[in-house]
Structure 1
Amino acid sequence: SEKVTPILAVFTFSLLNKIRANINPFHQYKLIHTTLSRKGLEEFFDDPKNWGAETVKSGAAWTHEQLRCKSNEDLHKLWYVLLKERNMLLTLEQEAKRQRLPMPSPERLEKVTESMDALDKVVQERDYALRLLQTGQEYPRPGDWRKDIFGHIIWYKYKQWPIPW
């Protein structure tokens, strides 16, 4: 019994070392996303199971608060997902008009447009903050504050050439 215990302990310890060597922390892996693989013109049409349906279940539009929590890389990916979705919905809308049928769940197009507008605003906010941090300029092109012909103070952007008067 004395000889069995050390051998069992060594065997168990060697197994644990082999298992521990193969375990990597979770943060080293990127999450794998799978999408429906459609190629060619099929990407411009809705899922065939939604054809002929009067309503199609969809989620809510992305809000500014949700998008501010995302990284720039995630926002970039989301922009192209929304762009593909918008193109697909516009194709669906045009096809429904051609066939003189109502478009199923037209609010989906509004949600995608709202999401894209919110995403664009978040990216503009980040560009503004980065430009202000790096250059101290509020606007992308230098200029100065001037009075217009009505006496209102406006921001005048410098041009590459003078305007001939």
Structure 2
Amino acid sequence: MSQKLQRGSRQNYNLFLFRRPGHARLLHTSASRWGLEEFFDLPENWGESAVKSGSPWTAKQLRAKSNDDLHKLWYVLLKEKNMLNTIEQESKRQSLPMPSPERIKKVERSMLRLDTVVKEREDSLRLLQTGQEKGRPGEWRKNVFGKTFWYRFREHPIPWNMNKIYKRKRFYTPLFVAPYT
């Protein structure tokens, strides 16, 4: 009787039947079967003097995409840029001309435009939520040597005029610097 209870209460730990919950899925990556070949162009393009390529992405096309699509496109362009830089270095190493070197500029232009579109979206969202155009408000200030710099405002737990430690500090401008301020 006790053996029947033990056998019946034993759980099946078959690893092939184990299912991962939806919130714990693995990170999506490209197929690992390619390995380092992903950093090189397709074999049918090797040795060609010109390779067909499309036009760079325009800002108008990118504005129509969702944030998820822009995120995916960024990594596709980054992967393409790495591949083209690898091809460029390999062609330099072999003293051969790179096939269609304008592809690098097209990818860089697309990445720059994509970054611009994402910044536009962030700025418009910030303007809608906080009413401020810049990420953190600030002002132009001059240091004791007369150099102009952008000072970003920060939040403090105690206002500066009520802070006793801040008031104890002595701020002065040395005499040899005073004429330059």
TM-score bin, normalised by smaller chain:
0.5 to 0.7
- The Cα shift of 1:157 comes to 2.2
Equivalent of 1:82 in 45, 66, 77: 77
**Alignment of 1:47 onto 2:42:** yes
Distance change in 2, residues 1:159/1:96 (3 Å):
farther
Distance change in 2, residues 1:112/1:38 (3 Å):
farther
For 1:142, give the aligned amino acid.
P
- The Cα shift of 1:130 comes to 0.6
- The Cα shift of 1:37 comes to 8.0
Distance 1:137 1:155 in 2: 16
Distance change in 2, residues 1:38/1:61 (3 Å):
farther
- List per-residue Cα deviations over 1:63-109 (Å, max 9, x = no partner): 11110011101101100100000000000000000000000000000
Distance 2:103 2:33 in 1: 20
SS in structure 1 of the partner of residue 91 of structure 2: helix
**Alignment of 1:141 onto 2:136:** yes
Indicate the RMSD between aligned Cα atoms, in angstroms: 3.0
SS in structure 2 of the partner of residue 41 of structure 1: helix
Residue in 2 that maps onto 1:124: 119
Q: Structure 2-normalised TM-score?
A: 0.62
Unpaired runs of at least 5, structure 2: 1-29, 144-148, 157-170, 174-181
Distance 1:107 1:159 in 2: 45
Counterparts of residues 12-51 of structure 1 (less than 5 Å) = 39-51=34-46
Equivalent of 1:92 in 58, 71, 87: 87
Residue in 1 that maps onto 2:14: none
For 1:134, give the aligned amino acid.
Q
Residue in 2 that maps onto 1:110: 105
Distance 2:113 2:33 in 1: 28
Greater fraction helix: 1
Distance change in 2, residues 1:157/1:57 (3 Å):
same
Unpaired runs of at least 5, structure 1: 1-34
Distance change in 2, residues 1:93/1:147 (3 Å):
same
Distance 2:99 2:50 in 1: 5
Distance 1:38 1:160 in 2: 51
Identity of aligned residues (%): 64
Residue in 2 that maps onto 1:23: none
RCO higher in structure (CA 8 A, sep ≥6)? 1
Aligned length: 126
Q: Structure 1-normalised TM-score?
A: 0.67
Distance change in 2, residues 1:91/1:142 (3 Å):
same
